[in-house]
Amino acid sequence: MTVIAIIQQKGGVGKSTITANLAGELVEKRLIVRVLDLDPQQSLATWARMGGGILSEIVGPVSIKSPKEFKAVVDAASNEAERVILDCPPGLPDTGMMAALMADLVILPVTPSPLDVIASKAALELIRDVQKQRAKGRPLIAYAPSRIIQNTVLARDLEKTLAPTKEKILPGISQRIAIAESVLMGLTLREYAPSSEGVKEFTDMATAVERMVKA
């Protein structure tokens, strides 16, 4: 009954990729997981159907017509599943705001590009506003470094750049061809390329997420 929202204003930063693989890793941890694809383009739900793997069983498309309807859909999913993951479309605030209002944890994927880091401040401000409206410091916030190109200055600087926000930084995900391919196949990386080193990155991210939501 924990709701995790993946939010970021910018497109293409890895929201849906992190959603899919985090969901897959939580299933590996024997949790009942449901993913709601809130993107009107429904790319994750469409890929998942094509892939025929674990994602085809747990990802559902959702079209939201009102905040009230949205709450009902998320509540229904929370009644069935132990972890509900909301894959938000790019852009703020509408869906992002509704998702943040329902979430126990918001994950903000951020790539090492300086422009992305600057753009991501808007999402952080939005979530902090929601925190002020809600009790008990909810939602929790965590950055998820995404599409990291190893051994680059930008990648090394990302943590330093994010540090002043004082928000939690999850173990990051590298840029890998196999990840891009797995998305197109509608599979998790674990299903598509079980021996990829990226699988451990997603496992470590999921372990850190579980530590946060259980604390």
Ligand X SMILES: Nc1ncnc2c1ncn2[C@@H]1O[C@H](COP(=O)(O)OP(=O)(O)OP(=O)(O)O)[C@@H](O)[C@H]1O
Greatest CA separation for the chain: 46
Token pair in block for residue 143: 């950055």
Q: Which of 2, 9, 16, 21 binds Mg ion (CB under 5 A)?
A: 16
| Alpha helices, H only, 29-135 | 43-51, 54-58, 67-80, 94-102, 114-133
Residue 130 interacts with which of ligand X, Mg ion, none, CB < 5 to 8 Å by class: none
Of 89 and 112, nearer to ligand X (C-beta) is: 89
d(C-alpha 65, C-alpha 214), whole Å:
32
Q: Which of residues 31-50 bind ligand X (CB under 6 A)?
A: 39
> Could you say whether residue 9 binds ligand X (CB under 6 A)?
no
- Choose, by CB under 6 A, the member of 1, 11, 75, 149 that binds ligand X: 11
In the chain, % helix, strand, coil (3-state, to 5) comes to 55, 15, 30
Stretches 21-29, 73-81, 129-137, 175-183: which one binds ligand X (CB under 6 A)? 175-183
Does 15 engage in binding with Mg ion (CB under 5 A)?
Answer: yes
45 interface partner picked from ligand X, Mg ion, none, CB below 5 to 8 A per type: none
CB within 8 Å of 63: residues ≥ 6 apart: 40
Distance CA 113, CA 119 (A): 10
Q: Which positions lie near ligand X, rule CB under 6 A?
A: 11-17, 39, 89-90, 146-147, 173, 175-176, 179-180, 183
